Amino acid sequence: MTFREAIVAVFSNILNFSGRARRKEYWTFILFYIVIIVGAIALDVIMGLNVYSYSYSKGPIYIIANIITFLPWLAATIRRLHDCGHSGYYVLWYLVPLLVDL
């Protein structure tokens, strides 16, 4: 599976929360996700659109990139958890840091 095939596989299964995601498919998408987010932050900083909040910037390009990639990330993560033999509800552990800050 090439890089392009892995990304296409994740985006074509946006609403597929059942089944499995191979290790290479998942980690290739995570690499793609990191590159997109870092690029979006860089564009926000270069264009002067960033609003500093704590230790990172939140600009409109960053927010749009997160909105576009959130659902594919969620679906791929849940399918990867299924492939590892875990429930998809384990993804809720990502909410724990948000609840601790309250």
Q: How many CB atoms lie within 10 A of CB 68?
A: 13
- Token pair of 48, please? 């002067």
pLDDT in tens, 28-64: 999 999 999 999 988 888 888 777 666 566 788 988 9
Query: pTM value?
Result: 0.79
SS3 23: helix
The arithmetic mean of pLDDT across residues 66-85, rounded, is 90
Domain residue extents for the chain: 3-100
pLDDT in tens, 8-31: 888 888 888 888 888 888 999 999
Q: Quick one: pLDDT at residue 33?
A: 93
